[in-house]
Amino acid sequence: MGSGAGVVVLAAFFFYVPLVAPFCVLVGARTSRRMGWLMSIPMVFLPLALVVGFLVP
């Protein structure tokens, strides 16, 4: 049996992404589309990669 840490990490990630994604869209709308994508890579996809890496045994 696991400790349940994966559930905590997934829950934190699913609260984090809906808050950060609109922020990246707002930045992209105010500056340029390219800047919005440039911000979304480290702010959304890096934590996604860390969650996947944490959950894979």
pLDDT single digits (tens) 8-48: 777 888 888 888 888 888 988 999 988 888 888 888 888 88
* Sign, CA torsion 10/16/21/36: negative
Nearest-CA neighbor of 20 among 1, 42, 51?
A: 42
Structure tokens at 40: 């979304």
Indicate whether 5 pLDDT > 80: no
- Cα–Cα distance for residue pair 43/13, rounded to 1 Å: 11
pTM: 0.65
- Cα–Cα distance for residue pair 55/49, rounded to 1 Å: 10
Whether 51 contacts 13, CB under 8 Å = yes
